[in-house]
Amino acid sequence: MLTLIIAGGLLMWTEKDQLAGKDSPAGGSGAEDAGAAAVPTTLEGALVVQLLGGAITRAQYQAALTRLAERDDDRDPMSVPDADPPEACP
C-alpha cells in the first residue's frame, strides 16, 4: 500500500510540473492531456494532490492515511495463517 501511495505521489508530482509548463509532453495540446490526467481517481490520489498543492499539511496527510488504513483494516481484515497447519509435512 505504501508503494502505491509513493508511486501515486510521484505521478502527481510529475503531472504538477507538466501543468506548470516545466516539462511539456511532445505532440498535441499538453494542457488538455495533463488537465484530464490530473484528476485523482482514488482517495489516496486526492490526498496526494492536496498535500502537493499545499491544501493540507504533512501531519494532516499522515493522519488521513492512518484513518484510511484503519478503515480498510476494519472492512477487510487480513488473516494470518497458522504457524503449523495440520497438512504440513514433517
Q: How confident is the model at residue 24 (pLDDT cuts 50, 70, 90)?
A: very low
Amino acid in position 57: T
CA 89 to chain centre: 41
Indicate the length of the chain as a whole number. Answer: 90
- Distance separating alpha carbons of residues 26 and 5, to the nearest angstrom: 27
Amino acid in position 25: P
pLDDT at 65: 93
DSSP state of 7: H
Over the stretch 32-63, which tens digit does the pLDDT of each residue have?
Answer: 555 555 688 889 999 999 999 999 999 999 99
pTM (two decimals): 0.47
- Distance separating alpha carbons of residues 50 and 67, to the nearest angstrom: 16
Give the dihedral sign, CA 39/44/46/48. negative
